């Protein structure tokens, strides 16, 4: 909502403190104001000050620019304040439910029963907020049909305030009440909650037992300007609904919980469940044979290592297996490690003993046939597979390895190896929380693009390296705070100069010199996660073991951790993280960038692998295995 003259706002508790500051800030923008408070003298003063400001924006009005209404928000008379506002200004654009009190006595000294002080706190801070939110929704719907409501929470609604448990309980209630109102966004009404830490107002100075040492440790009182900035952001930003904005001196303005944190507690919506049960029509006549890519000789040159083989479909399939018709297969840096036999172990040391084997790690498709004992999956169900052999037109997979997905789209392929690696590695190996500095290398690549966004969504500052201005532009769009295009800037110099305290978490997938630079840039207690070492996969003799002298000494001196991560070892978390990524993607929180170059059919797979290793790709590289069928499906 654009904050402009002519809008109108009602603010409860507007006679003093944060309420007064908000009234005057809105008045400075020419917005008509109703100040609701039980303190008549102060309320009238605020209305008079606001009137002077607002009048500068308007001529010859037949109504007052600012009105004061004396009212206790816990009384039913509060409804007449909303009615009067509507009658005066013809609608209500902004409602700020700000009136709040603290409990002046410790809980154990309070009474029980109707006249208890704690009860009054809960009535003013929570019950009246619910009532006023309801009244505001009614007025907004009855007039313009849209509006913004801000409920005043507090940091004490996010963590306990031992000095005033009832206050904490009431504000915690306001936070969850407001977050539960997200669905009103669809009706044009956005309700958000503001949670500042201590602001120097009458409410706070009424606490005799405020611990000054504690106050100093959290950076002192929050300046009123920060609270106003937060409120204005919640009003202006159309994407904010059911949002909780936490304001502290330590961390600034921060939305809580972060989407990554929230996803831990989110229950999958029945809508998503329903979508994932969709089935797609398939030609019931299956072919006698199909083509697939097999590795016939061990080589890090994928083209030289592989060939296309036609093989029989082998119906009926085994009892507990399903047949998947592959639509899109994902291309990965490590396709060349697989084709050189690195992912197999052999007691005899003879890796070639495994030849020939099927290539490809990941794909999406449709179930084309099910074995006799499979009852949880149906023909036509869209699924993802992450077992070897996905560079193929069809694949037979044990049903327990099937990952049901909402749609068999290329974006879902990107969420598999690339997305899951970022999501699980950042959670498990990096132990990522919020408020840290996170560095991602090869950040505009398949997995890098997910890592930067997930680190941002978790509330971190994100630094990213890439080679090229198009990639740098993409990373800026994805919200990266500092993009280092190594073709234009020296990574080492930038890190040293701009991050003198070091980087807390590093998601490193390039290896070689980049790994060394990252290690030197790691902060005390920092964690560097080895995701891969793409710069070494295609050396003259393939991938040779690296040597990092002094590694242990460096780690010891700074209590640092270098952690390895290999997605295969985390298969128990795939479905959960895939659902999370899909939720983020479908709610617009996560973007999936697909490389624009089209690769069609199994014969283009080697081109696609080489293209990924050329360093030119941006985002995820995917091969469309069956373009005709995929096109028909994408229209559904
Ligand atoms: P990708 O990032 O899409 O790979 C392409 C990007 O890597 C290029 O755009 C380039 O980025 C960089 N690059 C390519 N060749 C390079 C070279 N020779 N030297 C330096 N940089 C080079 O590929 P991906 O499939 O998502 O894989 C990225 C990394 O993650 C790989 O190391 C891969 O092995 C690893 N990975 C690991 C796991 C796991 O479980 N541990 C899972 C998936 C992927 P810039 O030039 O812009 O930096």
pLDDT for the residue numbered 607 = 98
pLDDT for the residue numbered 493 = 98
Pick the more confident residue, 489 or 219. Answer: 489
User: Prior bond to 296 cis, omega within 30?
Assistant: no
Model pTM score: 0.76
Tokens of 138: 């009614």
pLDDT for the residue numbered 265 = 76
Q: Which atom of ligand 1 approaches the CA of 331 most closely?
A: 25
pLDDT for the residue numbered 538 = 84
Q: Out of 233-242, 344-353, 422-431, 489-498, which region has the weakest mean confidence (pLDDT)?
A: 344-353
Pick the more confident residue, 331 or 199. Answer: 331
Is residue 636 scored above 90 in pLDDT?
Answer: no
Tell the residue number behind the tokens 């197999």, with chain if given. Answer: 344
Q: Which of 338, 419, 442, 592 to mutate to test the pocket of ligand 1 (most atoms within 8 A of CB)?
A: 442
CA 302–ligand 1 middle distance (angstroms): 16
127 pLDDT tier (thresholds 50, 70, 90): very high
Q: Which of 333, 467, 528, 609 to mutate to test the pocket of ligand 1 (most atoms within 8 A of CB)?
A: 333
pLDDT for the residue numbered 424 = 97
Tokens of 202: 């009458």
Percentage of the chain surpassing pLDDT 90?
Answer: 81
- Average pLDDT in the chain: 93
| DSSP conformation letters of 108-140 | GGS--STT-HHHHHHIIIIIHHHHHHHHHHHHH
Overall average pLDDT of the 605-630 stretch: 94
- Ligand 1, atom 42, lies closest to the CA of 421
- Ligand 1, atom 32, lies closest to the CA of 532
pLDDT for the residue numbered 274 = 47
CA 97–ligand 1 middle distance (angstroms): 50
Identify whether the C-beta of residue 553 lies closer than 8 Å to the C-beta of residue 562.
no
CA 445–ligand 1 middle distance (angstroms): 6
Say which residues have a Cβ less than 8 Å from residue 154's Cβ, sequence separation at least 6.
Answer: 100, 161, 167, 171, 195, 196, 197
Three-class SS state of 223: coil
Going from the C-alpha of 494 to that of each of 457, 488, 517, the distances in angstroms are 24, 11, 11
Tell the residue number behind the tokens 């023909």, with chain if given. Answer: 379
Tokens of 486: 């190594």
- For the chain, domains (ranges, CATH) are 8-108+117-256 (3.40.50.720), 289-408+604-610+620-634 (3.90.180.10), 418-586 (3.40.50.720)
> Residue 298, Cα to own-chain centre: how many angstroms?
40
Pick the more confident residue, 421 or 630. Answer: 421
Q: Out of 127-136, 559-568, 577-586, which region has the weakest mean confidence (pLDDT)?
A: 577-586
pLDDT for the residue numbered 104 = 85
CA 536–ligand 1 middle distance (angstroms): 10
Per residue in 252-291, pLDDT tens?
Answer: 999 999 877 777 776 655 554 544 557 777 777 899 999 9
Per residue in 435-474, pLDDT tens?
Answer: 999 999 999 999 999 999 999 999 999 999 999 999 999 9
pLDDT for the residue numbered 204 = 63
Say which residues have a Cβ less than 8 Å from residue 270's Cβ, sequence separation at least 6.
Answer: none
Per residue in 295-324, pLDDT tens?
Answer: 999 999 999 999 999 999 988 899 999 999
Q: Which residues line ligand 1 (CB under 6 A)?
A: 332-334, 417-418, 421, 442, 444-448, 465-467, 471, 509-510, 531-535, 565-567, 612-613, 615, 617
Per residue in 167-212, pLDDT tens?
Answer: 999 999 999 999 999 999 989 999 999 999 988 877 666 666 667 7
Q: Which atom of ligand 1 approaches the CA of 618 most closely?
A: 9
Helix boundaries (H) for 37-77 = 40-55
What sign has the CA pseudo-torsion 167, 168, 174, 177? negative
Q: How many residues does the structure list for the chain?
A: 636
Distance CA 281, CA 164 (A): 61
pLDDT for the residue numbered 118 = 97
**322 Rama sector, left if φ>0, alpha if ψ -120 to 50, beta otherwise:** beta
CA 465–ligand 1 middle distance (angstroms): 12
Percentage of the chain surpassing pLDDT 70?
Answer: 95
């Amino acid at each position: 909502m654009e904050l402009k003259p002519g809008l109108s706002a009602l603010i409860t508790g507007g006679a003093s403190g944060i309420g007064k500051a908000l009234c005057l800030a809105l008045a400075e923008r020419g917005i008509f104001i109703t100040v609701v408070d039980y303190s008549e003298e102060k309320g009238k003063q605020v209305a008079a000050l606001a009137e002077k400001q607002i009048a500068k924006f308007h001529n010859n009005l037949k109504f007052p620019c600012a009105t004061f209404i004396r009212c206790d928000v816990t009384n039913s008379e509060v409804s007449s304040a909303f009615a009067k506002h509507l009658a005066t200004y013809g609608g209500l654009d902004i409602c700020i439910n700000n009136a709040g009190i603290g409990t002046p006595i410790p809980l154990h000294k309070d009474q029980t029963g109707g006249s208890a002080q704690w009860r009054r706190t809960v009535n003013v801070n929570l019950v009246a907020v619910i009532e006023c939110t309801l009244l505001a929704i009614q007025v907004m719907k009855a007039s313009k049909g849209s509006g913004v409501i801000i409920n005043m929470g507090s940091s004490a609604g996010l963590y306990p305030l031992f000095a005033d448990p009832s206050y904490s309980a009431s504000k915690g209630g306001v936070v969850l009440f407001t977050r539960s109102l997200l669905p009103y966004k669809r009706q044009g009404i956005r309700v958000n909650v503001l949670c500042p830490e201590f602001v120097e107002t009458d409410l706070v100075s009424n606490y005799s037992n405020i611990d000054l040492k504690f106050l100093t440790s959290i950076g002192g009182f929050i300046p009123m300007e920060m609270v106003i900035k937060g409120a204005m952001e919640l009003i202006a930003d159309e994407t904010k609904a059911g949002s909780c904005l936490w304001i502290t001196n330590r961390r600034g303005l921060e939305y809580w919980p972060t989407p990554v944190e929230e996803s831990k507690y989110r229950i999958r919506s029945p809508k998503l469940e329903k979508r994932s049960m969709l089935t797609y029509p398939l030609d019931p006549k299956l072919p006698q044979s199909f083509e697939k890519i097999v590795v016939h000789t061990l080589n890090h040159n994928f083209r030289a290592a592989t060939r296309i083989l036609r093989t029989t479909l082998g119906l009926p399939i085994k009892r507990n297996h399903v047949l998947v018709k592959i639509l899109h297969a994902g291309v990965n840096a490590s396709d060349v490690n697989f084709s050189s036999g690195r992912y197999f172990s052999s007691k005899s040391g003879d890796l070639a003993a495994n030849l020939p084997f099927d290539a490809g790690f990941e794909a999406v498709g449709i179930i084309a046939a099910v074995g006799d004992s499979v009852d949880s999956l149906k023909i036509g169900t869209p699924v993802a597979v992450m077992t070897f052999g996905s560079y193929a037109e069809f694949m037979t997979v044990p049903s327990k390895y099937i990952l049901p997905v909402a749609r068999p789209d290329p974006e879902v392929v990107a969420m598999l190896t690339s997305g899951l690696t970022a999501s699980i590695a950042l959670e498990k190996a990096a132990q990522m929380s919020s408020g840290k500095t996170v560095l991602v290398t090869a950040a505009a690549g398949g997995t890098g693009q997910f890592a930067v966004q997930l680190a941002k969504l978790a509330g971190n500052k994100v630094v990213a390296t890439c080679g090229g201005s198009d990639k740098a532009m993409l990373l800026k769009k994805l919200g990266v705070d500092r993009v280092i295009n190594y073709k234009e800037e020296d990574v080492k110099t930038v890190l040293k100069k701009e991050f003198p305290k070091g980087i807390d978490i590093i998601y490193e997938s390039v290896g070689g010199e980049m790994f060394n630079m990252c290690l030197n840039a790691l902060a005390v207690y920092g964690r560097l996660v080895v995701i891969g070492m793409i710069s070494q996969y295609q050396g003259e003799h393939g991938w040779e073991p690296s040597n990092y002298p002094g590694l242990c000494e460096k780690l010891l001196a700074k209590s640092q951790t270098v952690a390895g991560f290999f997605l295969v070892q985390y298969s128990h978390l795939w479905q959960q993280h895939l659902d999370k990524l899909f939720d983020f993607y479908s709610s617009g929180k996560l973007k999936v960038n697909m490389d624009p170059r089209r690769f069609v059919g199994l014969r283009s797979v080697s081109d696609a692998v080489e293209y990924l290793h050329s360093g030119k790709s941006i985002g995820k590289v995917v091969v469309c295995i069956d373009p005709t069928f995929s096109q028909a499906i994408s229209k559904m």
